[in-house]
């Protein structure tokens, strides 16, 4: 009898632990600290010494992940971010010779246009978001290859003036702070999460859900357009591979940050920051360990799967839109 009781108790306890919000909130942070700690020991401190280099890689991912974070909050997905970054980077390069402010605006507008393109097919033509964005990913990747294959599109030398930590970090912080306030303390965030949790009811509560979904895709594109400026400032030119696999990096970063993949009420803004940091540190740690690309991908795949399994919001069993 006693034995039976303990048997019944165990899975319940485990389930509770997995399902608890405590774990959801704390695991990414614990993971981040653990990963920093482990890699510093394994690399004998060389990771800490190259922190500037590591930090330099985080800006683009962090900025563009913010836009995708909004999309995923409302239950959508976006695989076209890498191509958006690529196109916007080329636009920034071309315009940087004319005027730097114009280059920034050009990048943002280019991103927003592609985002609007996604949004149009998703909202007006009612095609699932991941299908639309996979299509646009290939479509615009094609454009990038066409424009940058023979030789990389080089930016004006003036962009190097902006390659300073204050500019890059400053831009990143501005995006993060505005996004955080909008998400956490305005109706924007509440509506977004509500769409992720149950779109029909949100519509009946007076939210113009179609318009909102369209604008969010546009916004995500615009934010990535801004990230393109940071990218060009950092690299000076756009190659045919610019932004390649950014979409996967963002997705992994967000999931590592504890983001439920179906969006909804359990989404938190911290997911973006913790997740991006965790992803970059993990990635660099593995490189510094001297692992081959193949092994790295293998390890990343396993970690990704574990996190998705842990954070999937099983109460919210709707299919991803």
Partner 1 sequence: MNDVRLEVKNVSKNFGITRALKDVSFKINKGEIRALIGENGSGKSTLTNSLAGIYQKDNGTFILDGKEVHPTNQVEANNEGISIIVQELGTLDGLTVAENIFLGHEENFVRYGIKNTAAMNRKAGELLKEYGFDRIKPSNMIENYNFEDRKLVEIVKATYFKPKILVIDETTTALSREGRDELYKQMKKVRDEGNTVIFISHDLPEVLEMSDSITILRDGDYIDTVNSSEIDEDGLKKLMVGRDITGGYYRADYGEKISDEVVMKVKNVTVPGLIKDVSFELHKGEILGFGGLSESGMHEIGKACFGASFDREGSVTLADGTEINDIPTAISHSIAYTSKDRDNESLVMNQSIRDNICLPSLDDLANKAHLLSDKKLNEFAATYAKKMSTKMQGVEQFVSALSGGNKQKVVLARWIGKDSDILLLDSPTRGIDIGVKQDIYQLMDSMRKAGKSIIMISEELMELIGMCDRIIIMKDGMISGELSREKDLNENSLIAKMV
Q: What residue ranges bind partner 1 (CB under 8 A)?
A: 181, 185-187, 190-191, 193-194, 197-198, 200-208, 264-265, 313, 315-316
Q: How far is the CB of 78 from partner 1 (least distance, A)?
A: 22
Residue with Cβ nearer partner 1 (201 or 302): 201
Q: How far is the CB of 315 from partner 1 (least distance, A)?
A: 5
Burial group, residue 272, by CB count within 10 angstroms (0-12, 13-18, 19+): buried
Q: How far is the CB of 138 from partner 1 (least distance, A)?
A: 29
Residue with Cβ nearer partner 1 (9 or 160): 9
3-state secondary structure string across the chain? CHHHHHHHHHHHHHHHHHHCHHHHHHHHHHHHHHHHHHHHHHCCCHHHHCHHHHHHHHHHHHHHHHHHHHHHHCCCCCCCHHHHHHHHHHHHHHHHCCCHHHHHHHHHHHHHHHHHHHHHHHHHCCCCHHHHHHHHHHHHHHHHHHHHCCCCEECCHHHHHHCCHHHHHHHHHHHHHHHHHHHHHCHHHHHHHHHHHCHHHHHHCCCCHHHHHHHHHHHHHHHHHHHHHHHHHHHCEECCCCCCCHHHHHHHHHHHCCCCCCCCCCCCCHHHHHHHHHHHHHHHHHHHCCCCHHHHHHHHHHHHHHHHHHHCCCCCCCCCC
Q: How far is the CB of 318 from partner 1 (least distance, A)?
A: 9
Residue with Cβ nearer partner 1 (125 or 200): 200
Q: How far is the CB of 205 from partner 1 (least distance, A)?
A: 4
The pair of structure tokens assigned to 83 is 């191509």
Residue with Cβ nearer partner 1 (159 or 192): 192
The pair of structure tokens assigned to 197 is 């949790």
Residues paired with residue 238 on neighbouring β-strands, in sequence order: 153
Residue with Cβ nearer partner 1 (13 or 185): 185
Residues paired with residue 237 on neighbouring β-strands, in sequence order: 154
Residue with Cβ nearer partner 1 (48 or 204): 204
Residue with Cβ nearer partner 1 (132 or 194): 194
Residue with Cβ nearer partner 1 (94 or 203): 203
Q: How far is the CB of 270 from partner 1 (least distance, A)?
A: 16
Q: How far is the CB of 241 from partner 1 (least distance, A)?
A: 40
Q: How far is the CB of 211 from partner 1 (least distance, A)?
A: 10
């Amino acid at each position: 009898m006693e034995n039976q009781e303990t048997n019944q108790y165990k899975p319940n306890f485990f389930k509770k632990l997995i399902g608890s919000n405590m774990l959801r909130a704390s695991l990414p942070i614990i993971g981040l600290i653990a990963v920093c700690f482990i890699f510093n020991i394994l690399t004998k401190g060389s990771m800490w010494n190259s922190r500037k280099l590591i930090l330099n890689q985080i800006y683009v991912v962090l900025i563009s992940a913010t836009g995708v974070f909004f999309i995923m909050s409302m239950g959508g997905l976006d695989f076209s971010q890498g191509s958006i970054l690529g196109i916007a980077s080329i636009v920034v390069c071309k315009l940087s010779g004319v005027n730097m402010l114009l280059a920034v605006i050009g990048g943002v507008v280019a991103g927003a246009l592609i985002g609007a393109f996604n949004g149009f097919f998703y909202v007006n033509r009612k095609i699932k978001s991941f299908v639309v964005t996979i299509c646009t990913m290939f479509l615009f990747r094609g454009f990038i290859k066409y424009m940058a294959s023979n030789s990389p599109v080089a930016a004006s030398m003036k962009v190097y003036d902006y390659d300073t930590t204050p500019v890059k970090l400053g831009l990143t912080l501005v995006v993060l702070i505005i996004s955080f306030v909008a998400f956490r303390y305005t109706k924007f965030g509440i509506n977004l999460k509500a769409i992720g949790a149950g779109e029909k009811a949100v519509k009946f509560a007076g939210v113009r859900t179609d318009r909102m979904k369209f604008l969010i895709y546009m916004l995500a594109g615009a934010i990535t357009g801004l990230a393109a400026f940071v990218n060009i400032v950092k690299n000076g030119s756009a190659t045919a591979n610019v932004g390649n696999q950014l979409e996967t990096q963002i997705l992994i970063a967000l999931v590592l940050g504890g983001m439920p993949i179906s969006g909804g009420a359990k989404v938190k803004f911290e997911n973006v920051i913790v997740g991006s940091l965790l992803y970059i540190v993990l990635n660099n740690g593995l490189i510094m360990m001297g692992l081959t690309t193949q092994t790295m991908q293998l390890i990343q795949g396993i970690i990704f799967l574990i996190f998705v399994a842990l954070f999937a919001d099983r109460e919210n069993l709707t299919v991803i839109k």
